[in-house]
Amino acid sequence: MGKAAKRKEQMRSRQGSREQRLWERRGAQRSADAMVAKLTLLDRSTSMWAEVLAAEAEYRGYVGDGKHSMASVERGINLIAEEGCEWAGIPMPLDGESLIIEPKYPFAKALSGKIGGTPSVHVCRDSDISETTFLRNSFWSWHYRATVDIWSDNGKIIWGVHKGTGRRSGFDLGTLGCADAWSLDTEFRAMATLRELVNHRKWRQYFLTGTFIETSKRSGVTYMFRRLKPTVAIGRKGEELRVLCCLCLHPIAYYAESRAGAMCPTDDVIAHLMLMRGDEALYWKRSNQHPAYTVEAAL
């Protein structure tokens, strides 16, 4: 190698070293800026959630009849559950709401009828029975989006919308009224648990939309898990997708005429997800299977 070539190689080496040092310096600066931005965002996020939880505590301290706050009722129920070694807790009673309790729940018998689990017992008498009144037919009405019953009363044909099925707005309003049963703290902790059970994309979808999708490796059925709505089971036949049914399951209890369960919304979603992964057949067996066109399916 000649003298000029050596000189050229040395200059190229120096230039490369200078650019490398500048790149490292700039890269370090960018990394530092990114870290500061993340920490600033984290501080804002933490303070935001702390502010929300503080407002929640203040709100639940004043909700009620003025004598007992919602927070004090929760503390009392939690103490009773701890003394009874009931890890699942006890459903929160709400004024004017009826709780439908899972029969296999350990305290179901003790709670039924005391916090709205079952109505009072009515003893039938001979005068209550009419041989001239009977149900003739029932069918689904797309117009009313409910089951219509037709019955005969002394030879007169009468029809009406089946009690318990109505328009979606009724369920939505009922769910809003039941939101006082949950606290933000429990919902935040449930979402943190869900984050450990699914990948980041699914958790991000759930955080933003209240929905994520997972396909069963056993059956190939795709499940759309939804907050405060039944899980949609989707089957595939070739390239065609079709809704098999909507699976509704509340492990402990739910509030009648609503989509609200006794557990916070994300805890219900976790229950659906874990049961589907652990025992898919039992998941279908324990769930109410609503056809896609019914109001209960919430599609």
Question: Position 163: which residue type?
Answer: K
pLDDT for residue 210 is more than 90: yes
**Rounded to an integer, what is the distance from CA 236 to the centroid of its chain?**
25
Higher pLDDT, 5 or 264: 264
Averaged over 287-295, what is the pLDDT?
Answer: 87
pLDDT digits (tens, 9 = 90+) for 98-145: 888 887 777 777 666 555 444 433 444 555 556 667 777 877 676 666
Q: Is residue 199 part of a domain?
A: yes
Place of tokens 């229950």: 271
Q: Is residue 215 part of a domain?
A: yes
Query: pLDDT-derived band of residue 186, with 50, 70 and 90 as boundaries?
Result: confident
pLDDT of residue 35: 59
pTM for the predicted model, two decimal places: 0.67
pLDDT of residue 118: 43
Q: Is residue 239 part of a domain?
A: yes
Overall domain count for the chain:
1
Domain carrying residue 209:
178-297
Lowest mean pLDDT among 9-18, 22-31, 100-109, 199-208: 22-31
- What's the full length of the chain, in residues? 299
- HEC per residue, the chain: CCHHHHHHHHHHHHHHHHHHHHHHHHHHHHHHHHHHHHHHHHHHHHHHHHHHHHHHHHHHHHCECCCCEHHHHHHHHHHHHHHCCCCCCCCCCCCCCCEEECCCCCCHHHHCCCCCCCCCCCCCCHHHCCCCEEEEEEEEECCCCEEEEEEEECCEEEEEECCCCCCHHHHHHHHHHHHHHCCHHHHHHHHHHHHHHCCHHHHHHHHHHCEEEEECCCCCCEEEEECCCCEEEEEEECCEEEEEEEEECCCCEEECCCCCECCCHHHHHHHHHHHHHHCHHHHHHHCEEECCCCHHHCC
pLDDT for residue 222 is more than 80: yes
Query: pLDDT-derived band of residue 246, with 50, 70 and 90 as boundaries?
Result: very high
pLDDT of residue 116: 46
Tell me the percentage of the chain whose pLDDT exceeds 90: 26
Q: Is residue 66 part of a domain?
A: no
pLDDT for residue 177 is more than 80: yes
Cα–Cα distance for residue pair 176/180, rounded to 1 Å: 8
Highest mean pLDDT among 31-40, 130-139, 187-196, 251-260: 187-196
pLDDT of residue 123: 42
Query: pLDDT-derived band of residue 240, with 50, 70 and 90 as boundaries?
Result: confident
Cα–Cα distance for residue pair 260/181, rounded to 1 Å: 9
In degrees rounded to 5, what are phi and psi of residue 29? -65, -40
pLDDT of residue 165: 47
Q: Is residue 196 part of a domain?
A: yes
Averaged over 271-279, what is the pLDDT?
Answer: 94
Q: Is residue 88 part of a domain?
A: no
pLDDT of residue 92: 80
Averaged over 170-178, what is the pLDDT?
Answer: 84
In degrees rounded to 5, what are phi and psi of residue 200? -65, -40
Lowest mean pLDDT among 51-55, 131-135, 205-209: 131-135
pLDDT for residue 39 is more than 70: no
Cα–Cα distance for residue pair 114/116, rounded to 1 Å: 6
Query: pLDDT-derived band of residue 199, with 50, 70 and 90 as boundaries?
Result: very high
pLDDT for residue 279 is more than 90: yes
Query: pLDDT-derived band of residue 269, with 50, 70 and 90 as boundaries?
Result: very high
Cα–Cα distance for residue pair 91/102, rounded to 1 Å: 11
Lowest mean pLDDT among 70-84, 119-133, 203-217: 119-133
Cα–Cα distance for residue pair 194/186, rounded to 1 Å: 12
Q: Is residue 107 part of a domain?
A: no
Cα–Cα distance for residue pair 270/245, rounded to 1 Å: 19
pLDDT of residue 268: 94
Average pLDDT of the chain? 77
Q: Is residue 276 part of a domain?
A: yes
In degrees rounded to 5, what are phi and psi of residue 271? -60, -45
